[in-house]
Every structure is written in structure tokens, then in C-alpha cells.
Amino acid sequence: MQIILEVPDLLGKKLQQLGDRLPEALDRALGELTAAETIPYQDELQIVELLASQPSPEVILAIRPRPALQARMSELLDRNKSGTLSQSEEVELDRYLLLEHWVRLAKAHAYKRLQAAA
């Protein structure tokens, strides 16, 4: 199949450098973009495994907590404000906050990588 695209000059030069590897590069990029649309995480083990796999900046920027995790974090934060957290819930909240911190750091680094590549 032949597809004709208009791209900026800088991108066009980069694509020309790929030569006959262009289909492979496009396939990889599309795979990462598709995966990036849905990268929910539930706990710190999942996020550590994902970050250890050295994903592309786009994949990192697409990381979002699952709705259930987000709801649990909100519940714990609300209960923390009202002073009704148990000690185990305080530990759980601290773990979630640390996880969120890791993700924010990774996203900041990924954003810098994208800016440097542009």
C-alpha cells in the first residue's frame, strides 16, 4: 500500500535517513502509541516493571492510575484530612503517594526527552 504524507522538513529528513527501515520504525511507533493510550497501573510493582522496561517517552506520558486506584487514593486522602485513617491506611496512603511521585518524576524526564528531540 502506498501512502503519501506531508511532514515538516526536519521530520522528513529523519524519515529519509531510515531508508528501507521506515516501515519497521512506523510499525514500532504505532505499537507504542496504541499501547500508550491505555497504560493503567494498579500498584507499585506494575509501575516499577513498566519503568524498568525503559519505555518510550510517549508511553511514560500515557501512564494513568486505574479508576479503582484513583478512587481508593481519593478515599484515603479524604479520610486523612478528617483524621480517621488507621495506621495501616496511613502506610497504604504513603505508598500510593510515593508511587505517584515516581510517575511524576518519570513523566518530567520523558517530557524533557521529547523536548530535546524536537
The pLDDT score that the predictor gives to residue 78 is: 95
The pLDDT score that the predictor gives to residue 36 is: 45
Question: In tens digits, what is the pLDDT along the chain, a chain of 118 residues?
Answer: 788 878 788 888 888 888 888 887 777 776 655 544 445 555 677 888 888 888 889 888 888 888 888 899 999 999 999 999 998 888 888 888 888 898 899 999 998 988 888 7
The C-alpha atoms of residue 109 and residue 74 are separated, in whole angstroms, by 26
The pLDDT score that the predictor gives to residue 32 is: 59
The pLDDT score that the predictor gives to residue 117 is: 82
The pLDDT score that the predictor gives to residue 41 is: 59
**Alpha-helix runs per DSSP H in 1-118:** 9-18, 22-36, 44-52, 57-61, 67-82, 87-117
Are the C-beta atoms of residues 74 and 96 closer than 8 Å to each other? no
The pLDDT score that the predictor gives to residue 48 is: 80
The pLDDT score that the predictor gives to residue 44 is: 73
